[in-house]
Amino acid sequence: MAAWTRKRVSLPENQGFDRCTLDSGKPGLRVVVFGGTHGDEIEGILAANRVANTDFKLLSGILEVVPVVHEAAYHADSRFSPLDGGNLARVFPGDPNGKPTQRLAHALQTQVLNGVDLLIDLHTAGQIYDIPYLVGYIDDGRDKKGLGARACKAFGADFIWRHEARVGGRTLSDVDAAIYTEAPLPGPTDMGFVDRYYDGVLRVLAELGMIDKSVAPPPPARPARRIASGGDVDKDLQSASHAGIYIPKVREAERVRKGQLLAQIIDIEGKVLQELQAPFDGWVVVSQRRPHVKPGDSVVGIAIDDTKS
């Protein structure tokens, strides 16, 4: 049985990452698992580390894990870099001559992601948003083998979110086939979701023929709901037009109807400054968690039922 190897990739400003590799020695796919693209999303980090410490009997291909992609943000318990305020999940493929976060993205893109067959990027909602337990992929024609759709179905989340457009800057942007996860986990750390993420990765590896199917847990009893929307979650969300206090009227994963009240923004005296309503029937996929908002902040969004077979 092949053994894991661990290589340290060091960058300036004490940045860097550990790259863990398990090579079957046989032809096949190369799958990469990321944890900690955002430093405050702990369950993905723990699940990725668990994968990198499991002695798989890899049947084919190569499995690679970067357990903590953005170490500076992790140590700061933040979505953003303490070095430059950068959001790593918005600057890919990076810039070797840019700011620290851009240089980190460039190293990850050129040294890990180039030539990858499938990326699994383990996110959670973190401290800012409420998001259902979901797995998403981009369906814009670049994934010729359909690996993203297959991996999403195998993963076993509550929702599968299909995006018809590819947006620059994301970890997924310059990878033909990739999936990402989200889950409503603001803290404290939920070890149950660590288990679910780990199990999901195993199901994907089994679906792709990289490990024996008997090793992977069975799929959840209830199949995932399929939803769809554009690829730019930042811009697809409704925004605050006033500074104030955000009052949600719905929860993540809730079914809503066109015109339904999603949220209000009020002042400290309780005066309603803005009401946000559902523009169409769908499912609540993002809702602001923090109370304070300012004009332009993305606060709530819904996705429609996916009718594509």
What domains can be seen in the chain, in order of their start residue?
5-229 (3.40.630.10), 237-305 (2.40.50.100)
pLDDT of residue 128: 86
Question: What number is the average pLDDT over the span 245-269?
Answer: 97
Q: What percent of the chain has pLDDT over 90?
A: 92
pLDDT of residue 309: 60
236: confidence class by pLDDT, cuts 50, 70, 90: confident
Residues 6+ apart with CB under 8 A from 54: none
Question: What number is the average pLDDT over the span 240-256?
Answer: 97
**Spatial distance between the Cα atoms of 132 and 31, rounded to a whole number of angstroms:** 25
pLDDT of residue 1: 67
Question: What number is the average pLDDT over the span 189-204?
Answer: 98
CA 304 vs. chain centroid, Å, equals 19
Model confidence pLDDT, tens digit, residues 55-107: 999 999 999 999 999 999 999 999 999 999 999 999 999 999 999 999 999 99
Question: What number is the average pLDDT over the span 274-291?
Answer: 95
Model confidence pLDDT, tens digit, residues 156-181: 999 999 999 999 999 999 999 999 99
pLDDT of residue 229: 86
Mean pLDDT of the chain: 95
| Closest-CA residue to 304 (of 224, 222, 225, 223) | 225
Model confidence pLDDT, tens digit, residues 112-131: 999 999 999 999 998 889 99
Question: What number is the average pLDDT over the span 205-221?
Answer: 96
pLDDT of residue 2: 79
pLDDT of residue 231: 61
233: confidence class by pLDDT, cuts 50, 70, 90: low
